[in-house]
Each structure stands twice: as C-alpha cells, then as structure tokens.
Amino acid sequence: MHDGIDTTSPRGQLAVRLHEVIERRWSAEVQAIGVHGSLAHGDDRDGSDVNLLVVTYRPAAGPKPALRRVDGILVDLEVVTGDEGLRRARELTSRWPLEADRYVTTRPLHDPKGWFGRLRDTHLARLAEARPPEFTALARHNWALAAAAHARAVRLAQWYDTDAALIMIAESRLHAALVTGLLSRTYFRNAADAVGRTGVAGADMQELSAVLKEQAEELAARGRPVDGPLGDFFD
C-alpha cells in the first residue's frame, strides 16, 4: 500500500524501507504507518524530510520516536496510539493552521483497518462542529504572541542587537500568519508556507505593525478588543 507516494525518489524509497522494518519487527504492536508532509503531497525534492507516523495499539509499544538522519535524509518518526491520535485530531489549538495538514493528507504505507481515513473524518467532523468564537479565541492568543515579539524586535533594533531583532521579527511574522489562518480557517504546509501565503514573509517592522493593527481591529469587531482593563481579563 504505497498509493500516491513516489517510491522512485530517495525519500520515498527510504519511507518504504522504514515501513518494512517497522512492520517486520513490531507486527503485533503496529496498526498503521503513514507519511505526511512533502511525500504525502507528492512534491518532495532533494532536502525534503521523511515525516513518518507510526500508530500503535497501546502506549510505549513499537519503535521509539526519533529525529535523525538516515543515509543523509532527515527522518522525523512520530509514534502515537490509535486512541491518542484520534483524540488529538479533535483538538483545536493555537497552532491548528500548522497541524491540520497532517490530519487530512497523511498517506498510508500500512493501514489494513483504515485508521488514517478515521483520522481525517474525525478532524473534519470537529471542524464542522467548531463555532467562530473558538477560532477567534485561538487567533487572539497568536496575536498576543505576535505583538509581543514585534515589540521586542523594535526594542532590540533600537539597542542595535540586530540578530536578536531578526529572530523576534520572524516569530512575529509566523504568529501573525497563524492569526490569518485561524480567522479564515486556512491551514498551511509549514511555517514557511504560512508566512508566504499570508503575505508577511518579507514584512519589515513598520509593515508588520500595520498588519497587527488591522488584525487587532478585526478581532475587536469579532467580539473583544485585544487590549483592555484588568476587569476584562477574566471574562
């Protein structure tokens, strides 16, 4: 079962080899194995990673999670029980725009009982149930992080700490992109995709300040300002 995966590429071949080893060594523990990321999308290139998800029947079974290079290719091996994986698929977090892709595009290497289909259906059902205030609250969380990082970047630039300021401005761009993703219910392939598709990848401090101002106005229009008195803090 390698449907939709390019098994002629070095990454695809390595994913198949990993799947075969895992299935042979832990056949009684593993219920599904799949890939997400570039391999699942069919556009992996030199430098792409192999993102492998192993689904077990019980905790602490199967291979150990790992992040390491194999034959020059970075392998990110995640291990989760079937119940835990489905539980996570029903969670909406502030990083949802970066997490949703794996729920809906993971392609199976081994899935005799259709677990990955259930993963997708579980997540899509949760999205169908979600009301706008849930996404707005998560967006406010990211806006607060984006604004704080932007303020630190400005201060560091004034102190001529350019390297640290660049790190903070990159963090602010990402969280601003996540605000946009949450408010529009748009998910992204990764952080680079997020800042690129939302138009903040090259935003300087002044431009990003304008983006944050617009987002603050939209969040206020959706029910609550991003800043307020102490009495509003616990509401």
Angle at which helices 205-221 and 132-158 cross, to 10°? 150
**d(C-alpha 194, C-alpha 191), whole Å:** 5
Q: Are 211 and 217 in contact (CB under 8 A)?
A: no
Q: What is the mean pLDDT of the chain?
A: 95
Domain locations in the chain as residue ranges: 10-129, 132-222
**d(C-alpha 161, C-alpha 46), whole Å:** 35
Predicted confidence at residue 5, as pLDDT, reads 81
Lowest mean pLDDT among 35-44, 175-184, 190-199, 223-232: 223-232
pLDDT tens profile 145-175:
999 999 999 999 999 999 999 999 999 999 9
Predicted confidence at residue 69, as pLDDT, reads 97
User: Does the pLDDT of residue 1 top 60, yes or no?
Assistant: no
pLDDT tens profile 47-101:
899 999 999 999 999 999 999 999 999 999 999 999 999 999 999 999 999 999 9
Which one-letter DSSP state was computed for residue 219? H
pLDDT tens profile 198-226:
999 999 999 999 999 999 999 999 988 99
Predicted confidence at residue 234, as pLDDT, reads 79
| 10-129: CATH number | 3.30.460.10
User: Does the pLDDT of residue 235 top 80, yes or no?
Assistant: no
Helices of type H across 44-131: 82-89, 96-105, 115-129
